[in-house]
Amino acid sequence: MNSFFARKYVIQGIFIAIALIIVARLFYLQIIDDKYILSANNNVLRKVVVYPARGVILDRNNEVLVQNEPVYDLLVTPREAKEIDTALLCRLIDIDVKGFNDRMDKAKKHSPYRASIFEKQLSSETYASLQEHLYKFSGFYVQNRTVRNYPDSIAAQFLGYITEVNDKDIERSNGFYSPGDYIGKSGVERAYEELLRGKRGVKNLMVDALNRPKGVFMEGKYDTLAVTGDGLVSSLDKTLQILGEKLMKNKLGSIVAIEPSTGEILTFVSSETYDPNMMVGRQLGNNYMKLLEDENRPMFIRPIQASYPPGSVFKVVAALTAQQAGVIDDKTTFYCPGGYSYGGGRGFMKCTHVDGSTDLVKSIQRSCNTYYGYVYARMIESRGMPTTKAYDLWREALGQFGLGHTLGIDLPGEKPGLVPTSDYYTKSYGNATWRSSFNISLSIGQGELGITPLQMANIMAIVANRGFYYRPHLIKGIGEEKIVKKEFTEKIYAGVDAKYYEPVIEGMSRAVNIPGGTGYSVRINGIEMCGKTGTVQNPHGENHAVFFAFAPRENPKIAIAVFVENAGYGGTWAGPIASMLVEQYLTDTITLAKHLQDRIYNASLLPAPKKVEQPKNSTIKADSTKKNTQQANTTRATNNELVVHHSQVRRRNEQVAAR
């Protein structure tokens, strides 16, 4: 009967063989090939990003400049979105049916199974009305995050703005950013991006096959909390900033005010400005285009990106560098016959006055072009060296004053301005034998010089400090500990000894505080403000008005530069603005005559729709400083004759060469 007994072993052998095949296969699946654990996690894990709140930015008195406001992103999982009331949803979030379909198609393209953003940044109000109906829209849900909010709508160019990261940002960040993140695109938001952005948190949710959340993975073992970005304390004074922006309304230009003892920037006005809240939310794209197309270029950060010839305010630097170089001292006098004659009488640089014998203090007080023509001539020609070398030495001295290079402010996009090298003039002259007459307009801050308003304010800070400055900066404290960046605590010397400042300061003080000074009209009762007006040649239109000042004379608290484009005479437009800001900062009040204030507030000096008030009096007077300020703008008309521009000089030299 058991004749086939041995076949038992064959059968058992087959059983064992199959079992071994199964075990071998399992060994491969479970031990060797580790792609399955990844696929499993892929299946079940949904990383939900918890967006951190961006750091808040405060002003120097801990008043809020930028804060966060909750908004709500509407997400959709297309596969789950079925039989919904499209019309109702469209109405609730204010889109049309086409918009709905476009968004839905985009989401489907992304993935029918996973949630993608349907509509971004719904406001709290929209969310409130949507929320009541949300249960009707299966597959839709809301994720909240925060956006920036600017309670006073000020300091747009300083604060900058944030947008969603683009592909390049993601690439550059080595994986820090992922689509949907925000990144600072300009201003402080960009400069301090790494501190402000905080750290994203991740919640590892588990979902089932239908993508329904099923709980937290590993009890949150791999979850990370979102870390709020570091808060920043700005050096800005909010009150002063608001005042500054109000004063600059409908004018192009800049205001930069610096606390000389620290380099902290108190006011940073770039006009035309815009409401930073425009760069937030669903209208960002449209608003951005609007701002880009605006001919007044509100996105242009004038204080650090616009560079102009400084005009007469440059005489302060000329006087200081000349003393240090030893070509003049406080007793040096030159005779002013109402202008500086040069190039063997072929050129004449006019003064606004005929002052006769003028010393250093008076030269500043009266802004004497003649004096500085002589100073420059000595600087270049009387130092026992070739003019090119003398010029380059002088250029180096200007560099120490922060001209011709960036100051290192904590904002992206700072421009260096321009102080041409001797080579530049050698090239345009044809050889190295040029003399001071070739570029005499440099002596009074005209010509090729390019100086940013920030650099102007910094010059004032140097003068206020009698010889040194701190890098101007906008953020004075980072995070909880209010850390100050090291580079902002380092004293930088401007290369002119302290003793040389007194005559210049005396001149600036007289210019404001003594009748007949160029800035007498904007003096402040009880405060000795030292200032200097400037009027900058503008070949394209009205001259630019400059005023820079610091106050009080002893132990100065504020150094300020005001630059108003196309405004005309500096004492008329820039002076009162500076004066009001200084007084506001030092005393919290403004005593300037009401009509003077109103004139500034109401003036529109924008170039495009020309609403500039016409001069009441078109007479041309050489000495406008004696006229009252209302009439001072008439001097504009004379400006064309004030200075011989380089173009003329060059033309003449070309003629000589042609002969």
Partner 1 sequence: MNKSQQGSFFGRIDWVTIVLWLLLCLIGWFNIHAAVFDPEHPNIFSLETNYGKQSIYIFTALLIGVSILIIDSRFFISASPIIYIVVMLLLVTVLIVGRNVGGNQAWIPLGSFRLQPSEFGKLATCLLLAYYLSSQAGKMPNNKSLFIGCLIILLPVALVMLQPDTGSALAFFALIFVFYREGYIGNSVLIIGALAILLFVLALLINQWILIGIIAAVCIFFGFMLRKRRKNIINIAILFFASSMYILCVDFAYENILQTHQRNRIDIILGKIDDPRGQGYNLNQSKIAIGSGQLFGKGYLQGTQTKYNFVPEQSTDFIFCTIGEEWGFVGSVVLISIYLFLLVRIVNIAERQRTAFARIYAYGVASILFFHFFINIGMTIGIVPVIGIPLPFISYGGSSLWSFTILLFILLRFDSARKGLSPM
- Positions touching partner 1 (CB under 8 A) are 1-5, 7-8, 10-12, 15-16, 18-19, 21-23, 25-27, 29-31, 33-37, 39-41, 43-44, 206-210, 214
Which of 29/289 has CB closer to partner 1? 29
Which of 23/593 has CB closer to partner 1? 23
Which of 21/514 has CB closer to partner 1? 21
Full 3-state SS string of 68-124: EEEEEEEEECHHHCCCCCHHHHHHHHCCCHHHHHHHHHHHHHHCCCCCEEEEEEECH
Which of 39/647 has CB closer to partner 1? 39
The CA distance from 369 to 375, in Å, is 10
Which of 34/654 has CB closer to partner 1? 34
State the minimum distance, in angstroms, from the CB of residue 165 to partner 1.
Answer: 30
State the minimum distance, in angstroms, from the CB of residue 18 to partner 1.
Answer: 5
Which of 9/135 has CB closer to partner 1? 9
Which of 209/658 has CB closer to partner 1? 209
Distance in angstroms between the alpha carbons of the first and the last residue of the chain:
137
Which of 79/133 has CB closer to partner 1? 79
Angle 278-282-288 from CA coordinates, rounded to 5°: 45
Which of 115/257 has CB closer to partner 1? 115
Q: Could you tell me which residues come within 8 angstroms of residue 534 by beta carbon, excluding any fewer than 6 positions away?
A: 310, 311, 312, 313, 314, 445, 545, 546, 547, 548, 570, 574
The CA distance from 606 to 612, in Å, is 8
Both structure tokens of 493: 């010397």
State the minimum distance, in angstroms, from the CB of residue 214 to partner 1.
Answer: 6
State the minimum distance, in angstroms, from the CB of residue 115 to partner 1.
Answer: 17
Both structure tokens of 504: 């210049």
Q: Which residues on neighbouring strands pair with residue 450, listed in sequence order?
A: 418
State the minimum distance, in angstroms, from the CB of residue 28 to partner 1.
Answer: 9
State the minimum distance, in angstroms, from the CB of residue 31 to partner 1.
Answer: 6
Number of residues assigned to the chain? 659
Residue 358 C-alpha from the chain's centroid: 40
Three-state secondary-structure class, residue 617:
coil
The CA distance from 112 to 104, in Å, is 10
Which of 23/225 has CB closer to partner 1? 23
Which of 95/207 has CB closer to partner 1? 207
The CA distance from 315 to 311, in Å, is 8
State the minimum distance, in angstroms, from the CB of residue 412 to partner 1.
Answer: 46
Full 3-state SS string of 256-325: EEEECCCCEEEEEEEECCCCHHHHCCCCHHHHHHHHHHCCCCCCCCHHHHCCECCHHHHHHHHHHHHHHH
**Contact call for residues 162 and 54 (beta carbons, < 8 A):** yes
Q: Could you tell me which residues come within 8 angstroms of residue 260 by beta carbon, excluding any fewer than 6 positions away?
A: 460, 461, 464, 465, 469, 550, 556, 557, 558, 559
The CA distance from 123 to 72, in Å, is 7
Which of 77/235 has CB closer to partner 1? 77
DSSP H or E segment with residue 376: helix 369-381
State the minimum distance, in angstroms, from the CB of residue 194 to partner 1.
Answer: 36
Q: Is 181 exposed, middle or buried (0-12, 13-18, 19+ CB in 10 A)?
A: middle
DSSP H or E segment with residue 584: helix 570-587
State the minimum distance, in angstroms, from the CB of residue 16 to partner 1.
Answer: 7
State the minimum distance, in angstroms, from the CB of residue 41 to partner 1.
Answer: 8
DSSP 8-state class, residue 436? G
State the minimum distance, in angstroms, from the CB of residue 126 to partner 1.
Answer: 34
Which of 36/222 has CB closer to partner 1? 36
State the minimum distance, in angstroms, from the CB of residue 47 to partner 1.
Answer: 15
State the minimum distance, in angstroms, from the CB of residue 36 to partner 1.
Answer: 3
Q: Could you tell me which residues come within 8 angstroms of residue 171 by beta carbon, excluding any fewer than 6 positions away?
A: none
* 320 Rama sector, left if φ>0, alpha if ψ -120 to 50, beta otherwise: alpha
State the minimum distance, in angstroms, from the CB of residue 210 to partner 1.
Answer: 7
**Contact call for residues 324 and 500 (beta carbons, < 8 A):** yes
State the minimum distance, in angstroms, from the CB of residue 7 to partner 1.
Answer: 5
State the minimum distance, in angstroms, from the CB of residue 78 to partner 1.
Answer: 16
- Residue closest to 313 by CA, chosen among 176, 452, 174, 186: 452
The CA distance from 55 to 196, in Å, is 5
Which of 8/136 has CB closer to partner 1? 8
Which of 22/97 has CB closer to partner 1? 22
State the minimum distance, in angstroms, from the CB of residue 114 to partner 1.
Answer: 14
**Contact call for residues 573 and 602 (beta carbons, < 8 A):** no
Which of 221/595 has CB closer to partner 1? 221
Residue 409 C-alpha from the chain's centroid: 9
Which of 15/493 has CB closer to partner 1? 15
Three-state secondary-structure class, residue 144:
strand
